[in-house]
Amino acid sequence: MVSGSCAVMAVVSSSSHLQGLVPFTSQPNCFPHQQLPGSVNGSYGLSSSSSSSSSKRFFTSLRACRSQVYGGLPITSFTSNYTMLTPASAAAAATYPSICAGVVNQLEKLAEREREVVFDLKSYMLAKAKAVNAALDEAVPLRYPEKIHASMRYSLLAGGKRVRPALCIAACELVGGSEEEAMPTACAMEMVHTMSLIHDDLPCMDNDDLRRGQPTNHIAFGEDTAVLAGDALLSLAFEHIAGASKKVSADRIVRVIAELGKAIGSEGLVAGQVVDIASEGDSSVGLETLEYVHIHKTALLLEASVVSGALVGGASDEEVEKLRQYARSVGLLFQVVDDILDVTKSSEQLGKTAGKDLLTDKATYPKLLGLERSKEFANELVRKAKEQLSSFDQQKAAPLLGLADFIAYRQN
Amino acid sequence: MVSGSCAVMAVVSSSSHLQGLVPFTSQPNCFPHQQLPGSVNGSYGLSSSSSSSSSKRFFTSLRACRSQVYGGLPITSFTSNYTMLTPASAAAAATYPSICAGVVNQLEKLAEREREVVFDLKSYMLAKAKAVNAALDEAVPLRYPEKIHASMRYSLLAGGKRVRPALCIAACELVGGSEEEAMPTACAMEMVHTMSLIHDDLPCMDNDDLRRGQPTNHIAFGEDTAVLAGDALLSLAFEHIAGASKKVSADRIVRVIAELGKAIGSEGLVAGQVVDIASEGDSSVGLETLEYVHIHKTALLLEASVVSGALVGGASDEEVEKLRQYARSVGLLFQVVDDILDVTKSSEQLGKTAGKDLLTDKATYPKLLGLERSKEFANELVRKAKEQLSSFDQQKAAPLLGLADFIAYRQN
């Protein structure tokens, strides 16, 4: 493919439910890190230019990279770069099929440089997940009474994607903080998330037997232990932030705890779950209630993850506000995609019971908007999320930009 | 009764299960606030001297006060004073049945002074409970979604004795802090306590239908809402400390949150409940396990209440340590008395199902030690608790001294 300036859509796996709606755009042949006027948010895209053998090799390599799978997911949309080829070299590559050695060398160097700054979300997320898993493992050792700790560890270390910790760490790093500073807060987000899954799965709630491809906590350990494991994880989340954040000032810790508390309680995910349960089987439930449920049940904890990471990292009020808006869009997106996946994937693919929303005639975006409009809504949310990051250093913002795509294009 | 220096046992209601074992001692005829060498902990006692008409009036009034009931409980042991009659006037009273007008006047003045400094635990606890109730009411308003807030308020505002908030505020005031500073933390203790009651009562746990004389939360609101109300209260506890403690430094708040978290989680009350459930029906359970359960299920939250109050009030490390030891004894005492009450009181008297421990053949102190030795153990714990307070200003320590008695001699 040889072209001049053009918008390029990232190739998405044919199995993606959002195929053809990927919001990536870029203007090729720009200088590295240049603002991309053609892009939706001026931030983010894939270079596609040159027919030179070197750049062919490069893009072949990039395509190979695209075909890699992250945790069973195509990572097509999660690998991106900011370094573009120069207009001059790209024009030469477009004009002359046979390129002189000098130009080849130049392109080789540029391609090398491009490889250097390519943001590899897969590696980033794997590295963060590994660090988070190690920190969680350490935070909840298997000690007396063994049963409760085994139950907590069973759900906590069940191999989730660690999206919330990743968002927390990425936000902290974006504003100048470190992974080390963010880690206790990042772990707390996963503890709270795990608690909400354990309690939501209980017979008196969603009554689910399967979670992440394994028996739910109460199936494995009994209802009493499952309730208590959730309580212990919830309590530990706050204790861990307060006790383990050795390099974070007390002022910041206090703000993080208030933020997290609000995201969980009767104005947070508990409120979402309550309204969700009350809405079950109610055919009159409309978009407003649906959005209330999704925002409260899911989005607020993602928002708390991002905002808390930013607070730990020392973000200004303005930065916190932008990241909060980013997180709100990403948070709602997360649940919209969940709704879509519930009707497009199998239980095996999801690692949890699929099609439950249909069975229970639950209000979902696909039910209220239709599948296609739900996908459009998801794309709009990705766009809005990224827009909030436009004023940040784009290289530093790469993880959060990538995470928005990851959440949009995940397959489970 | 006229006597010289003697130890005086406080009169305890005949219905008290600890009758005759009350550890109050005092040496009458001491100067106000004087260290009492004859007392067990040198801290605390009731004056008993003089046969003058004025002091008769005073002690008649004191006895009337003793017969008052706090929340259905005889307050005999909760009203104490530190101002004693002078040796000279008491000796005169002992020697001459007919006392001259001058001495009467002197005794009138002293009695007046005594009335002024009498510590009235009933009034203290009523005042604190009123303030705590108002603060809790404000902290959990009835808003959307109404059902979850109604459920939270149902259990939170069900009229408990507010022992934990009172301990918290008393500890804060003892070390120089104010009720206002302690209030968010005090409320948090009650929120956590309420959460633990709601979850412990669930069908999958203790399966209790009655609590504080009312249907348990899951009976009134359904199991799903009860689980979520507990979660919301637990989360709110931390959020409230972090968000509402406006006049407390962030350093202190962070320490309080770490302290509270530890008291709740898998090394705190959750651990106690897990081991308690595991021990049910196990006839081999001994004193060690029983103490583990009581310390974890009950004592640690009482300890957290006292220590957190002290931290908020700016206690030194040494003060914190003494108050921690006081609270450990009081905390264990609380559960020992609970065990005793379970076998000596009716459901109506307790406001919850009585005799459950016997029915389930649960390990309790009366079962393992016998009732009399359990009462002796309770008295020993009161003594140990008070001993830790001997180095504090005794007038300022009066609420905590009184609370130890209140916990020991409560009737439900």
Band the pLDDT of A285: cuts 50, 70, 90.
confident
Number of domains in chain A: 2
Averaged pLDDT score across all residues of chain B:
77
Last residue of some domain: A98, A117, A136? A117
Is the model's pLDDT at B135 over the cut of 70? yes
Mean pLDDT of A206-235: 95
Is the model's pLDDT at A50 over the cut of 80? no
Range of the domain at A145: 122-409
Percent of chain B's residues with pLDDT above 70: 67
Q: Which residues on adjacent β-strands are paired with residue B210?
A: B215
In this structure, the answer to whether residues A70 and A147 fall within a common structural domain is: no
Q: Residue A282 has what pLDDT? A: 82
- Min Cα separation A271/chain B (Å): 6
Is the model's pLDDT at B303 over the cut of 90? yes
Q: Residue A79 has what pLDDT? A: 40
In this structure, the answer to whether residues B141 and B90 fall within a common structural domain is: no
Q: Residue A354 has what pLDDT? A: 62
- Given an 8 Å threshold on Cβ–Cβ distance, is A239 in contact with B251? no
Our CA angle for A326, A327, A333, nearest 5°, is 100
Band the pLDDT of A357: cuts 50, 70, 90.
low
Mean pLDDT of B32-38: 30
Report how many Cβ contacts below 8 Å link chain A to chain B.
159
In this structure, the answer to whether residues A100 and A207 fall within a common structural domain is: no
Over the stretch A262-278, which tens digit does the pLDDT of each residue have? 999 999 999 999 999 99
Q: Residue A86 has what pLDDT? A: 37
Shortest CB distance from A254 goes to which of B144, B230, B242?
Answer: B242
Is the model's pLDDT at A115 over the cut of 80? no
User: Given CB atoms, is B235 within the 8 Å cutoff of chain A?
Assistant: yes
- Min Cα separation B265/chain A (Å): 4
Shortest CB distance from B261 goes to which of A140, A202, A239?
Answer: A239
In this structure, the answer to whether residues B163 and B113 fall within a common structural domain is: no
Long-range pairs for A352-360 at CB < 8 Å and ≥24 separation? A352/A208, A352/A210, A352/A211, A352/A212, A352/A213, A353/A208, A353/A209, A353/A210, A356/A206, A356/A208, A360/A280, A360/A281
Over the stretch B389-412, which tens digit does the pLDDT of each residue have? 999 999 999 999 999 999 998 877
- Point out the least confidently predicted range of A309-313, B65-69, B267-271: B65-69
Band the pLDDT of A172: cuts 50, 70, 90.
very high
> Hey, what's the torsion of the CAs at B58, B59, B65, B67, to 10 degrees?
-150
Q: Residue B75 has what pLDDT? A: 31
Mean pLDDT of B153-169: 94
Which residues of chain A does B257 touch, with a Cβ-Cβ cutoff of 8 Å?
238-239, 241-242, 257
Mean pLDDT of A7-12: 29
Task: Tell me if A202 sits within 8 A of A223, measured CB to CB.
Answer: yes
How do beta strands A214-215 and B69-70 pair? unpaired
In this structure, the answer to whether residues B126 and B54 fall within a common structural domain is: no
In this structure, the answer to whether residues B259 and B233 fall within a common structural domain is: yes
Query: Distances in Å between the alpha carbon of B121 and those of A369, B58, B126, B185, B313?
Result: 63, 18, 8, 21, 21
Chain A residue nearest residue B263, CA to CA:
A235
In this structure, the answer to whether residues A218 and A360 fall within a common structural domain is: yes
Last residue of some domain: A73, A93, A117? A117
Over the stretch B69-95, which tens digit does the pLDDT of each residue have? 223 333 333 343 333 333 444 444 444
Task: Tell me if A306 sits within 8 A of A329, measured CB to CB.
Answer: no
Over the stretch A291-341, which tens digit does the pLDDT of each residue have? 999 899 999 999 999 999 999 999 999 999 999 999 999 999 998 998 899
Mean pLDDT of B303-317: 98
Match 């001491």 to its residue by tokens. Answer: B30
Chain A residue nearest residue B258, CA to CA:
A239
Which residues of chain B does A261 touch, with a Cβ-Cβ cutoff of 8 Å?
235-236, 238-240, 242-243
Chain B residue nearest residue A255, CA to CA:
B242
- Given an 8 Å threshold on Cβ–Cβ distance, is B254 in contact with A258? no
SS3 letters for chain A? CCCCCCCCCCCCCCCCCCCCCCCCCCCCCCCCCCCCCCCCCCCCECCCCCCCHHHHHHHHHHHHHHHCEECCEECHHHEEECCCCCHHHHHHHHHCCCCCHHHHHHHHHHHHHHHHHCEEHHHHHHHHHHHHHHHHHHHCCCCCCHHHHHHHHHHHCCCCCCHHHHHHHHHHHHCCCCHHHHHHHHHHHHHHHHHHHHHHCCCCCCCCCEECCEECHHHHHCHHHHHHHHHHHHHHHHHHHHHHCCCCCHHHHHHHHHHHHHHHCCCCHHHHHHHHHHHCCCCCCCHHHHHHHHHHHHHHHHHHHHHHHHHHCCCCHHHHHHHHHHHHHHHHHHHHHHHHHHHHCCHHHHCCCCCHHHHCCCCCHHHHHCHHHHHHHHHHHHHHHHHCCCCCCHHHHHHHHHHHHHHHHCCC
Chain B residue nearest residue A234, CA to CA:
B235
Q: Residue B26 has what pLDDT? A: 31
Mean pLDDT of A150-170: 95
Task: Tell me if B275 sits within 8 A of B245, measured CB to CB.
Answer: no
Q: Residue A367 has what pLDDT? A: 87
Shortest CB distance from B238 goes to which of A249, A250, A257?
Answer: A257
SS3 letters for A305-319? HHHHHHHHCCCCHHH
- Min Cα separation B291/chain A (Å): 14
Band the pLDDT of B96: cuts 50, 70, 90.
very low
ipTM for this model:
0.74
Q: How many residues does chain B have?
A: 412
Mean pLDDT of A100-127: 70
Which residues of chain A does B217 touch, with a Cβ-Cβ cutoff of 8 Å?
none
Most B CBs within 10 Å, among A266, A269, A285, A293, to test the B interface: A266
In this structure, the answer to whether residues A281 and A304 fall within a common structural domain is: yes
In this structure, the answer to whether residues A160 and A303 fall within a common structural domain is: yes
CATH of the domain at B151: 1.10.600.10
In this structure, the answer to whether residues A291 and A345 fall within a common structural domain is: yes
Interface of B with A in 146-185 (CB under 8 A): 147-149, 152
Is the model's pLDDT at A80 over the cut of 80? no
User: Given CB atoms, is B243 within the 8 Å cutoff of chain A?
Assistant: yes
- Min Cα separation A386/chain B (Å): 30
Q: Residue A329 has what pLDDT? A: 95
Is the model's pLDDT at A37 over the cut of 70? no
Q: Residue B356 has what pLDDT? A: 66
Mean pLDDT of B125-147: 97
Over the stretch B188-199, which tens digit does the pLDDT of each residue have? 999 999 999 999
Largest CA distance in chain B: 74
Interface of A with B in 253-292 (CB under 8 A): 253-255, 257-258, 260-262, 264-266, 268, 270-271, 273-275, 277-278
User: Given CB atoms, is A244 within the 8 Å cutoff of chain B?
Assistant: no
In this structure, the answer to whether residues B70 and B141 fall within a common structural domain is: no
User: Given CB atoms, is A236 within the 8 Å cutoff of chain B?
Assistant: yes
Mean pLDDT of B14-25: 36
User: Given CB atoms, is A304 within the 8 Å cutoff of chain B?
Assistant: no
Q: Residue A88 has what pLDDT? A: 44
Over the stretch B348-397, which tens digit does the pLDDT of each residue have? 666 666 666 666 667 789 888 999 999 999 999 999 999 999 999 999 99
Which residues of chain B does A277 touch, with a Cβ-Cβ cutoff of 8 Å?
224
User: Given CB atoms, is B225 within the 8 Å cutoff of chain A?
Assistant: yes
- Min Cα separation B192/chain A (Å): 10
Band the pLDDT of A358: cuts 50, 70, 90.
low
Shortest CB distance from B227 goes to which of A204, A254, A265?
Answer: A204
Q: Residue B280 has what pLDDT? A: 84
Interface of A with B in 86-145 (CB under 8 A): 140, 144-145
Select, from the ranges A23-32, A55-64, A73-82, A341-350, the one with the highest average predicted confidence (pLDDT): A341-350
Q: Residue A344 has what pLDDT? A: 83
- Given an 8 Å threshold on Cβ–Cβ distance, is A265 in contact with B232? yes
Percent of chain A's residues with pLDDT above 90: 57
SS3 letters for chain B? CCCCCCCCCCCCCCCCCCCCCCCCCCCCCCCCCCCCCCCCCCCCECCCCCCCHHHHHHHHHHHHHHHCEECCEECHHHEEECCCCCHHHHHHHHHCCCCCHHHHHHHHHHHHHHHHHCEEHHHHHHHHHHHHHHHHHHHCCCCCCHHHHHHHHHHHCCCCCCHHHHHHHHHHHHCCCCHHHHHHHHHHHHHHHHHHHHHHCCCCCCCCCEECCEECHHHHHCHHHHHHHHHHHHHHHHHHHHHHCCCCCHHHHHHHHHHHHHHHCCCCHHHHHHHHHHHCCCCCCCHHHHHHHHHHHHHHHHHHHHHHHHHHCCCCHHHHHHHHHHHHHHHHHHHHHHHHHHHHCCHHHHCCCCCHHHHCCCCCHHHHHCHHHHHHHHHHHHHHHHHCCCCCCCCCCHHHHHHHHHHHHCCC
Last residue of some domain: A93, A117, A141? A117
In this structure, the answer to whether residues B34 and B181 fall within a common structural domain is: no
